[in-house]
Structure 1
Amino acid sequence: MKRYTKPIHLQELSPHRRADSSLPLINVVFLLLLFLLVSGTLRPPLPDEFAWAETSRDEGAGNIRGGLVLTREGRVWSEGQALESGELADFLIRTAETSDLLTVQVDKRTRMESVATLAAQARSSGIARLTLVTVEADGP
């Protein structure tokens, strides 16, 4: 009897490659970078040469979103744009319709007359509470 032989090709087993363990780390770093880029662009810019007013006690709380910025010269800014007196009055009326609280970021070189004028305008528009946002001073 005749024998027929046929070559059999067996697949070579390659060693099992472990998944790259740095891939999840790269994903987390990328997402963190993306978050920082987006969160940095959401806050409206402050006017040039703005210097935060300082306080010595850590009391109260304020949310700067939707608030105003009072500059050294007494100009009022909102969302990165300077407001004229008519625009300020409209802004204060719209704010009073939704809340009785207004948050103001104050430059430390602002004259007290400017703060008092803004407070009077806010009060006449129906805003009952005014929060001045400052930074904590280094020490006494």
Structure 2
Amino acid sequence: MKRYTKPIHVPQVMAHRAADSSLALINVVFLLLLFLLVSGTLRPPLPDDFDWAETTADQGSSNIQDSLVLTETGDFWFQGAILDEAQLLGFLAEASARSNRLTLQVDKRARVETIAGLAKKAQAAGIARLSLVTVEAGNR
């Protein structure tokens, strides 16, 4: 009996390129950066010696975004800069055009007379509601 043979061609196994993990790392870093930019609010810092006023009541709520800051010395700060009297009145006029509410971050060493004076100026500018931002006593 005669045998007939036929050659079989087996293709060579090609070496697969290893999966590159740097693309996944770049994606993770990009998403982390995006998350930090979206979730964090970039706002100017408070004055160096600012010490929050304390309260024992937990009533009301307010947004400190674009709020005014009252320091111990009676200076008013907005977005990291001290406001003089004319700038303060301009700020109050702009704030009353946006809303009838004003938020004030208060230093606990600030004088009550200063807050009362600001309340009168705010009322004259058309602001009907003044919110004082404080921290709960013992939670710092």
TM superposition score normalised by structure 1: 0.78
Number of the residue aligned with 1:11: 12
Q: Which amino acid aligns with 2:98?
A: T
Q: How does 1:103-122 map to 2 (within 5 A)?
A: 103-122=103-122
Q: How many Å apart are 1:42 and its aligned residue? A: 1.2
Number of the residue aligned with 2:50: 50
Which structure 1 segments of 5+ residues have no match?
Answer: none
Post-superposition Cα deviations, 1:57-77, rounded to whole Å, max 9, x if no partner, equal 211111111210000101001
Identity of aligned residues (%): 52
Q: Which amino acid aligns with 1:11?
A: Q
- In the alignment, the residues of structure 1 paired with residue 103 and residue 81 of structure 2 have an alpha-carbon distance, to the nearest angstrom, of 16
- In the alignment, the residues of structure 1 paired with residue 120 and residue 12 of structure 2 have an alpha-carbon distance, to the nearest angstrom, of 86
Q: Which amino acid aligns with 2:12?
A: Q
CA 1:39–1:49 in 2, change beyond 3 Å: closer, same or farther? farther
Post-superposition Cα deviations, 1:18-70, rounded to whole Å, max 9, x if no partner, equal 886xx47x744653345336765711111111111111121111111121000
Number of equivalenced pairs: 133
Q: How does 1:1-140 map to 2 (within 5 A)?
A: 8=9, 10-12=11-13, 23=24, 27-28=27-28, 30-36=30-36, 42-138=42-138
Q: Which amino acid aligns with 1:53?
A: A
RMSD of aligned residue pairs (Cα, Å):
3.2
TM superposition score normalised by structure 2: 0.78
Which structure 2 segments of 5+ residues have no match?
Answer: 1-5
CA 1:124–1:40 in 2, change beyond 3 Å: closer, same or farther? same
